Amino acid sequence: MKTFALRFLLGLIVATALSLTALAQTKAGAIKARKVEGEVFKLTHDGQSVKLTEGAFLTESDTVTTGKSSSVVLVFMNGSSIKVSADSKLAIEEFKMDPLDEPINVSKLQNEPSVSKTKLNLAYGEMVGEVKHLNRDKGSTFDIETPVGAAGIRGTTFRIVFRPSGDGKAFNFTLSTAEGVVLFTGSVANAAGVEVPQDKEVVVTAQVDPATNAVTSVQISDVHSISVSAASAITSATTTVINQAQQTTTFTPTEQQTPTPTPTPAPTPAPATPPTNNPNNTPTLTPGDGGT
């Protein structure tokens, strides 16, 4: 009887701890726009399109679009940063984290300051990311969805290039890892996951049904070493753009509770459809945003 009671009590403690953890992560985290170049817009959940300016706040449910020769670095309150390159569309579907206990300087972080859950959706385009070491043992996750599959980030530096092929029948996708490891899983049923470790990349081709625009098949290539140019592009974007953005970014507990809203001027049309002039999946890094 004593053994049963002890087991019951331990189970209750574990269940309570898990419940408290889930409750703690119901707070939306803050995100700041840094290194804004060219035409960059934020589409809010209520349909408003707002031109992003340096230091503007974003949160979950916002979508970022960039025009030609444009880019922006999104610095997240958990210390992670994403550089969105030209001709891209990235939705922030979810970003929740435990509240901060004190202000943080992002550039000084090696690990995330609490526990967080991030889910992004890259509709098309290119992104380079640096994700601080996640508290995965406590439930932290960082996932990036695309129409061809999902990338599970485990605390790493990476690049994703995802462009339509131009014929309306296929998508081309490249995932490169410069540091750490990323797990990629195809979007079709029973698609096996593949790990992409440091200095490796995977190329994915997906066939699409033109009538429904649904992905019908996903072909994942063998994981192979990244090219010198690809490695250079990732490193350059990280050191010259993302790190610079982090140097000027701090977050306070108050900003998570009541983030300063972005000024809302008259709505401005944002890019609505993915560009189709890059059929060979060529990276679009340009001078000033990680290119040469």
Task: Give the pTM.
Answer: 0.80
pLDDT computed for residue 191 by the predictor:
67
| Beta-carbon count within 10 A of 256 CB | 18
pLDDT computed for residue 262 by the predictor:
46
Question: 186 and 163 in contact (C-beta within 8 Å)?
Answer: no
Closest CA to 175 of 94, 89, 283: 283
Return d(Cα 170, Cα 206) in angstroms, integer: 5
Return d(Cα 203, Cα 223) in angstroms, integer: 8
Return d(Cα 99, Cα 66) in angstroms, integer: 30
pLDDT computed for residue 14 by the predictor:
45
pLDDT computed for residue 118 by the predictor:
97
| Beta-carbon count within 10 A of 2 CB | 6
| Under-50 pLDDT residues of the chain | 4, 8, 13-16, 18-23, 260-267, 277-292
* Per-residue pLDDT reduced to its tens digit, 13-49: 444 454 444 445 568 999 999 999 999 999 998 889 9
